[in-house]
Structure 1
């Protein structure tokens, strides 16, 4: 029964145009074609990326942060309070006004003290600037190297200049060693991002990021299985073209280089919009969605591949809207770019007449002067 199900799922007519099938991807006459088992290599590659990241962050990113003056301001921790901590962990990190008043009565603290406690407690859970700098440094390094590696792989390929060539003699296009490593490394990196998602900095678009990672991994894996490799390499190159610029803008932001950050973010916005809202839909997606219909009748694999492409494109439009909002905010003046996705640290007014009061009932210690964190962030 399982064998029959396997045969039904992987039937030639589902994944290939009429007249073609898996037999076309059998090695012969010295020509090598992609195979399903090749994808297993991405798991050890992903693990290697995780190990390399730890080494990189400690030996390269941390000293670089120190060199650029990236440091965290002293953070005031919320004093121990079992009642407030229980509510924070089990009910809500952002209590309503009525809840604050109720907690005030339970703890014997004033409403202002309860509000301050929740602000401090939320700030404790936010990642440090140094952690965000290390993460941005790692991604910047990979995306930069991946982009130029992709250029090296594609610069002499005819389908980079005439995208219709990606369908020439499909699916009987032999696999090149450079394509193999380009695919395995890119897919391994995206897998490593999924493996480390629990420890990475979480942004407001966390769900969209997960959808993007899943769609990307599915797209890369599927394009490998059915030999859409020429299209896949172009898609990966377009994505890497802008990512390293964004990560560099983050690094300059954390270092306090305001004007450099703004310039890098403006350059990133321009490259992002051109690559993902112009080149990807009007060149690449057109060549994977419209042009193939002039060569083959549509088949299920055709719809599946392009469906994933449209998911990515919708996410690109979503992020482009956020990027444009950020650009509009800082262009009139010389303000730092503020990432709409970031979860900014909350501050307390210096003229708070209660900021030196003590919490009551023996639960908390002396209040500490809070350091204002007036800089915005680019996550």
Structure 2
């Protein structure tokens, strides 16, 4: 009897990787990145040639090189990293608190610099990065760790307040220290999704979420009928963006809608967009979906949405079958981040909300965004490696997962 108990304790201590690996998730990611690079070159070639002395591949080469390196890196790491290890949890804490320090460095040190009218970037040894993007990864890694440490105490209001407070802290840092309200909103929503999944008491959310939605709708209706409020405020670029949206849309959004409308069902053909030539500023960034619609039409846009839908489906499968709550919450955080960012980007392009500067994952230009969003996919692949099946050679591992 004592020997049997010892064997059970050993089984509980460690989860073994299975033979499963979500190659479908990896393939979908590679397809999205490859498609994004093609559209990035098409959307940015004219501007790159005029800005960088005829080098029309400037944006493409930067993004392609980084994407290739990161893709190889996440495949290697996801094959060998055990997310249950102590050092992985220490890295989670380091990324979370380190991102806060880096955001503070943007505001209070000479390393921070301004671009596109906002001070959101750090330049270290000639390399630029956006610390708010690191904050998203830190939140996805660190909140599940804190939730698991609390265990059954998650039922208490104090525990929920701590978890939500960590999310709010990250969001406030992004807003106040880097003047990035859109990223702050995304961070807050990611924290809410993780807390919702970890909290066994759902009645509270069933009341709060519909109530918040109703209040938001009424607020938009009231503001739309009282645009003079924004005329009195004036000056602040955010209030100007909201005013433009409520009064018919900004120049950039309207040009994006013209691009979408002119594309029709099959589009004008790859590389044949006219709106990207000086008409849509920075077309390779947050407005790239409108170029996709113009060149590839509704058919191309639907293809992109199907790819995102399948990617999210694979993330859902990994989260649902994760061997433990830690893996489930991390992958759910990745799912929340990508889905929220895609939805917000499309809402801006389709004039359903004010312009925010939120990029389209895997497709828009942005080194920091690609680096960390691919790292999140690597985390999901790492979790998928520990998914077990209860038949054949994985039967013993399945028993181990049940005991835990």
TM-score range, shorter chain: under 0.3
TM-score w.r.t. length of structure 1: 0.27
Between Structure 1 and Structure 2, the one with more helix by share is 2
Structure whose alpha-carbon radius of gyration is higher: 1
TM-score w.r.t. length of structure 2: 0.26
